[in-house]
Amino acid sequence: MDEHDLRKTARQIRLLDLETVYRAGAGHIGGEMSAIDILTTLYFHTLSIDPAQPDRADRDRFILSKGHTACALYVTLAVRGFLPEEELNTFLQPYSALNGHPNRVKVPGVETNTGCLGHGLPIAVGMAKAAKISGENWRVFVLCGDGELQEGSNWEAVMAAAHFKLDNLTLIVDNNRLQQGARVSDTNKLAPLGEKLSAFGWHSVDIDGHDISQIAHALDANQQQPGLPTCVVANTFKGQGISFMRDRVEWHHKVPDVAQYQQARIELEADLP
Amino acid sequence: MSLSPKLHDCRDAFVASLQREAAQNSNIVAVCNDSVGSSKLSGFATQWPERLINVGIAEQNMVGVGAGLANGGKVPFVCAASCFLTGRALEQIKADVAYSQANVKLCGISSGMAYGELGPTHHSIEDFAWLRVLPGIVIIAPADPTETQGAVEFAVQHEGPVFLRLSRVGVPDIFDSEHLFVPGKANILHEGDDLTIIANGTLTHRALDAARVLSGQGINARVLNMATVSPIDTDAIVAAARETGAILTCEEHSVHGGLGSCIAEVVVQNHPVPMKILGVPGIFAPTGSANFLLDEFGMSAEGIQAASRDLVARKGG
């Protein structure tokens, strides 16, 4: 898929995400809009995966550690063919497989049950270590929120990944600089994130997390540094693509009313002429 | 006068079994938290250095790494002092292992009060309570080396989470080498119809000793070894209640939420009979060795005998 098609797909996923959250009356739309360009690039460009064989042993692994943005993952998996698009209508409904946080037992393509923050990176370290022990060349990607990195368990895993020389592991930080209640910098600041990861022995790059070509380039296998895990600090905006949500903390989990929903649709549809 | 039986540190049976299994199954790996020595993994590390993953002092990462290794097709035995494994990493055990149905084997080394004098920070008398409320984890507290071996073999062949609650406190042989460990099934070690004493782990041999003395005093105690705490052997408990009319439980764990609580839940809902739960009585234990503290909390052979007599008297009343 070329860059134009990836952007079109990202727009389609944003529209479906908006519609699904609006219909369900709940979700985490701000953090979903910030992550969708990354998810699109992973699922339609980078990851070696097969919807017909979601458990294929040599598949690349992806963990959505910021599990509260599950809706964006479900939409991406549906568009990629892992689940029927109609199933998105069940999001958050009683007994739906599509819980507010992803469940690997119920949703094909989900690798582990996230929702508790700070869990994805340790699991990704274990996955990458398994590939190394077996001498296999599948890769592991994990997407964390920036606020999520306040959880100490991440830093245990950051040290382990460097120690184990896991160059098959890529951490992508959705660096939208907002957490649930406030700006990250006003809560427990993480900056300078890239420098911190470098100091821990990682290869670190900063990119525009809404520029598909920059994301694709940063995730390319030829960008891996031998012996070093990679951290891609993807600078993003919460609510990206929808003017009144963009960079606004209250859109962490606010739900649009009918006028806001229609306005958001118009803006997203106009995004790609 | 009989000779004192030889006592065993069940960690030895644990690692011997693990190494035997690992020699047959190259997917078996060991994960630990700077606990190669206390988990007795140095032999494993020498034989398969690439399959020993020591994450350092980082239990949350350790359990997550275990879940990731399982996702990658490995069979991880995650070994750490039970207090840190289950306490520090409880949320990882809940979400990454139990809820995700990951094929991880959690091995709580030196559980209960094995670290006696080191104090309550190092005691693990809450682990049954914490883990048994998590759906899908098989919880096993073996009583001797043979049962430990059976539990390890089961953990390898079972697809799903297992918690092996192991100790370093010496226990005598209880089972002969032909014994077949069956998960979820209690074993009657001593027959009787006046009451049933149910125990596991380091308490089983104490319960058995008490029952033998009680026989000479005219009290016939059934002794049930209940190694598997989850899933609990409901049939054996209901049969014990119906056939003996009173149940005494003994465990190296808090009296709240552990083996006794499990059994009480079954008894009150199926066949209520008088019960007594022996364990750590809802306090942080004072200084002392595990054996001292077990005696202190009424779980010496004499203490178990006295509790049995009281229970039989209550039953009569």
**Looking at CA atoms only, how far is residue A220 from chain B in angstroms?**
22
Check A160 against B58: CB less than 8 A apart.
Answer: yes
- The residue written with tokens 């209520």 in the block is B272
**Looking at CA atoms only, how far is residue A142 from chain B in angstroms?**
12
Alpha-helical regions (H) of B221-258 = 234-244
Chain B residue at shortest CA distance from A110: B100
Residues A23, A56 contacting (CB under 8 angstroms): no
Q: Which long-range contacts (CB under 8 A, 24 or more apart) does A182-190 make?
A: A182/A249, A183/A249, A184/A146, A184/A147, A184/A150, A187/A147, A187/A150, A188/A150, A190/A146, A190/A149, A190/A150
Residue B173, CB-side half-sphere exposure with 13 Å CA sphere:
10
Interface predicted TM-score (ipTM) of this complex, two decimals: 0.96
Residues A207, A146 contacting (CB under 8 angstroms): no
Considering the domain architecture, whether residues B156 and B209 belong to the same structural domain is answered as: no
Partners of B68 on chain A (C-beta within 8 Å) are 112, 122-130
Give me the average pLDDT of each 10-residue run along chain B (317 residues).
81 98 98 94 97 98 98 98 98 98 98 95 98 98 98 98 97 95 98 98 98 97 98 98 98 98 98 98 97 98 97 85
| pLDDT of the residue at B315 | 87
Check A57 against B55: CB less than 8 A apart.
Answer: no
Q: Is residue B2 part of a domain?
A: no
Classify domain A3-270 by CATH architecture.
3-Layer(aba) Sandwich (3.40)
| pLDDT of the residue at A1 | 87
Residues A109, A52 contacting (CB under 8 angstroms): no
- Tens digit of pLDDT for each residue in A196-232? 999 999 999 999 999 999 999 999 999 999 999 999 9
Partners of A131 on chain B (C-beta within 8 Å) are 72
**Looking at CA atoms only, how far is residue B88 from chain A in angstroms?**
11
Considering the domain architecture, whether residues B243 and B155 belong to the same structural domain is answered as: no
Q: Does B215 touch chain A (CB under 8 A)?
A: no
CA angle (A225, A230, A232) in 5-degree steps? 130
Check B60 against A129: CB less than 8 A apart.
Answer: no
**Looking at CA atoms only, how far is residue A14 from chain B in angstroms?**
28
Return the C-alpha torsion angle A251, A253, A258, A262, nearest 10.
50
| B 18-37 residues inside an 8 A Cβ radius of A | 29
Check A119 against B92: CB less than 8 A apart.
Answer: yes
Distances (CA, A) of B210 to B126, B232, B299: 25, 24, 10
Partners of A117 on chain B (C-beta within 8 Å) are none
All residue ranges of chain A with pLDDT < 70 are 273
Q: Which of A104, A105, A126 shows the shortest C-beta gap to B64?
A: A126
Check B68 against A129: CB less than 8 A apart.
Answer: yes
Chain B residue at shortest CA distance from A121: B64
Domain count, chain B: 2
Token digits for A123?
Answer: 């699991």
Partners of B66 on chain A (C-beta within 8 Å) are 126
Cα separation, B106 vs A195, whole angstroms: 36
Partners of A70 on chain B (C-beta within 8 Å) are none
State which residues form the domain around B229: 187-316
Q: Does B73 touch chain A (CB under 8 A)?
A: yes
Check A113 against B50: CB less than 8 A apart.
Answer: no
Check B65 against A129: CB less than 8 A apart.
Answer: yes
CB contacts < 8 A (A, B) = 107
Considering the domain architecture, whether residues B117 and B30 belong to the same structural domain is answered as: yes
Check B68 against A153: CB less than 8 A apart.
Answer: no
Q: Does B135 touch chain A (CB under 8 A)?
A: no
CATH number of the domain within which B271 lies: 3.40.50.920
Q: Does B49 touch chain A (CB under 8 A)?
A: no
- The residue written with tokens 């919460």 in the block is A238
Query: 3-class DSSP state for residue B122?
Result: coil
Cα separation, B136 vs A176, whole angstroms: 37
Query: 3-class DSSP state for residue A245?
Result: coil
Partners of A57 on chain B (C-beta within 8 Å) are 73
Q: Does B160 touch chain A (CB under 8 A)?
A: no
Task: Domain ranges for chain A, please list them.
Answer: 3-270
Q: Is residue B179 part of a domain?
A: no
Partners of B65 on chain A (C-beta within 8 Å) are 122-123, 125-126, 129, 157, 160
Check B60 against A128: CB less than 8 A apart.
Answer: no
Partners of B60 on chain A (C-beta within 8 Å) are 118, 122, 152-153, 156
| pLDDT of the residue at B4 | 80
Check A133 against B29: CB less than 8 A apart.
Answer: yes
Check B68 against A127: CB less than 8 A apart.
Answer: yes
Alpha-helical regions (H) of chain B = 10-24, 42-47, 59-71, 82-88, 90-92, 127-132, 145-157, 204-216, 234-244, 259-270, 290-294, 301-316
Q: Is residue B260 part of a domain?
A: yes
Q: Which of A123, A156, A163 shows the shortest C-beta gap to B68?
A: A123
CATH number of the domain within which B16 lies: 3.40.50.970
Partners of B63 on chain A (C-beta within 8 Å) are 122
Chain B residue at shortest CA distance from A157: B61
Residues A138, A59 contacting (CB under 8 angstroms): yes
| pLDDT of the residue at A273 | 58
